[in-house]
Amino acid sequence: MKPPAEGVPPDAPSPVADAIGGATVFPARVAARVLRGPLETAVEDLLSAPEIGRILDRALSGPLPEELAHSMTRHRVFERILQKLAAEGELERLLDEALASPRTLTMLDQLLASDAMGQVLKRAITGPEVRAAVATQSAGFAEQVMGGVRHAATGLDRRVALSRAPAQFAGLASRGTALVIDALAILAVSVALGAAAGLVGSLVGGVKPAWLAGFLLSLAGVVVALGYFSLFWSTVGQTPGMRLMHLRVLPLHTGGRLSLWRALVRTLGLALAIIPCFLGFVPALFDSRRRALPDYVAGTVVVYDDSASAA
């Protein structure tokens, strides 16, 4: 027996075996090539037969579609397909082509211009959820602004004080800021009343002489200011400006709220402190309780609202 050639494995097939194997498989290849065309035609004829259509119709009308859907969901077929498309970048490409399509842009324009979309947007914008969100954001922004103003005013109170006053008593910066806010509120009310009075006067021919009209408007402003401070101090112990600055007016010894008479006296003392170029507030720089002229006249103190109970 002839030994195998060098470099050839012992069990490698010989060229003769390869030739015999190829000759054996060749008829099957030829038969498959010859029958491919008639086989495809036979399959097409089979699928187009009415009997096949009726069988498919009965199958689709039964539980097969539901079972197929459950099976595809259970085996996460769609998720795997999307993951495959996303991994290969095909999903992004398909989305880009769909969004860039002129047909898509036309459909979006028609949708946005439709009355139904307008009604949906109107209901969404005017809905209670949106109004609540806007109100919350506005209130939060205003509170942040006022918090910064209060912090700056409190720091200034400590720096400008010339005496060692307890921390609960409010200084000039906080009280002055509250007074400015109250003055703006009084001005707004006075302007509204003046506009209403002017409208009524125009209907009756006007108020003559002119000095009388000016006197009446000035008197109305004084009455508004007196009523403004007296009403708020005697009922809630703080004006709107003081509430924004977290300040409160308290009786000096008894605590609680001011009586209407004491609130009126304090309002007159406030006017006396303002008239000489606000010199009536200078004692607050030296007093141990930061009391100004209105506090001396009415027997009151002004404290930070969060420490009112302690005061």
Query: Does 195 fall in a domain?
Result: yes
Query: Does 111 fall in a domain?
Result: no
Domain count, the chain: 1
Query: Does 269 fall in a domain?
Result: yes
Query: Does 212 fall in a domain?
Result: yes
Phi, psi of 180 (to 5 degrees): -65, -45
Query: Does 217 fall in a domain?
Result: yes
DSSP-H helix ranges across 204-288: 210-235, 240-244, 260-274
Mean pLDDT by 10 residues, the chain (311 residues): 50 52 51 57 66 75 80 82 82 79 80 77 71 67 85 88 83 94 94 82 71 79 93 95 94 85 95 93 92 95 72 43
Q: Which domain holds residue 253?
A: 139-307
Query: Does 188 fall in a domain?
Result: yes
Return the pLDDT at 100. Answer: 79
Query: Does 86 fall in a domain?
Result: no
In single-letter form, the type of residue at position 179 comes to L
Query: Does 276 fall in a domain?
Result: yes
* Nearest one of 130, 128, 166, 175 to 280, comparing CA atoms: 175
Return the pLDDT at 188. Answer: 93
Tell me the whole-structure pTM to 2 decimals.
0.56
